[in-house]
Amino acid sequence: MSDMRDLPAGSEPVEEYLDRLLLTLSGPPRQVRRTLAEVEAHLHDAVAEEIAAGKSEAEAEQAAVARLGTISQITGRPLQFGRPTAALLRRTALAGSLIGGIALVAVGVSGAIGWGLAALRGGTFLVAPFPQGSYTRSDCARWLAGDPSTHSCLTAMTADHVGEVILNSFAAGLLGVLALSAYGWMRRRWQDRGTLTALPIGSAEAVGSILALIVAVGTAGRGINLELVQNGQGAGEMFSLTIGALAAATFFIVRLSRLSLPYRIRS
């Protein structure tokens, strides 16, 4: 049963086997620790038996690992390559709900900022009005009906669009809160090591911060362009999104730095 190949210098078959087993096991943490401890004790017994039979320590370790069989024989299920494991799907759902939730909350925050910017610099700073001739009398009548305090179609249209942008932003923010609640629920439910290590630690935060910074740069550039070319009409929406994206990027970067803190302390 044993496979007596020449061992590379410095190799530790038992330690390497236990490392691979730890990375493969999934389930509740206590079950993972139990299986690992059982297999480690088993391997030490087998190594002792092989040494007693006359093998060198390196040969004994290799024989003990060969006797134990493949990792999948211990986990009780075959390793499946080429399609995502349940742990990977769970981890992706966690990452997606965190990134999506924060992104939507950032849109909600940008809505509040846009509201403030519209109050400071006027509604047309937040939303550019439609060009003349692109709307009908009935459109005007509808906008004016929604804002009885004015007789100007342009003012009523702007107020309508500002309200729409802010309402949509707040709705997105609410959805973001729901997504983050779902994230929190899933995070409590899926605490097994297999799920948590299915993607590199901090990958969601890294992807989230990169995406948020791209959005921040893109919307800032668009806002500056609107400020310069269209006298700022509609620039406020872009700038409010920039601030929301920067807040999201800051959140992800702070989380990322906290995740990597223990490694920095050790080094």
Partner 1 sequence: MMSEKLKGNLDMLLLAVLAAGPGHGYAIITRLRDRSEGAFDLPEGTVYPALHRLETAGLLDSAWEVVAGRRRRLYRLTAAGQESLAAEAQRWRSFTGSVSQVLRGLATQPSAIRPAAL
- Contacts with partner 1, residue ranges (CB under 8 A): 1, 31, 34-35, 37-39, 41-42, 44-46, 67-71, 73-76
Q: What whole-number distance in Å separates Cα of residue 243 and Cα of residue 251?
A: 12
CB 129 within 8 A of CB 236: no
Q: How far is the CB of 71 from partner 1 (least distance, A)?
A: 8
Q: How far is the CB of 82 from partner 1 (least distance, A)?
A: 23
CB 23 within 8 A of CB 85: no
If the CB atoms of residues 32 and 248 are measured against partner 1, the closer one turns out to be: 32
Longest dimension (CA), the chain: 101
If the CB atoms of residues 74 and 207 are measured against partner 1, the closer one turns out to be: 74
Q: How far is the CB of 42 from partner 1 (least distance, A)?
A: 5
If the CB atoms of residues 33 and 189 are measured against partner 1, the closer one turns out to be: 33
Q: How far is the CB of 4 from partner 1 (least distance, A)?
A: 17
If the CB atoms of residues 30 and 266 are measured against partner 1, the closer one turns out to be: 30
Q: How far is the CB of 52 from partner 1 (least distance, A)?
A: 13
Q: How far is the CB of 222 from partner 1 (least distance, A)?
A: 57
- Residue at token pair 């791209």: 214
If the CB atoms of residues 42 and 222 are measured against partner 1, the closer one turns out to be: 42
CB 192 within 8 A of CB 87: yes
- List the one residue out of 69, 79, 64 whose CA is nearest residue 24: 79
Q: What whole-number distance in Å separates Cα of residue 15 and Cα of residue 38?
A: 14
Q: What whole-number distance in Å separates Cα of residue 227 and Cα of residue 219?
A: 12
If the CB atoms of residues 70 and 257 are measured against partner 1, the closer one turns out to be: 70
DSSP 64-108: HHHHH--HHHHHTS----SS--HHHHHHHHHHHHHHHHHHHHHHH
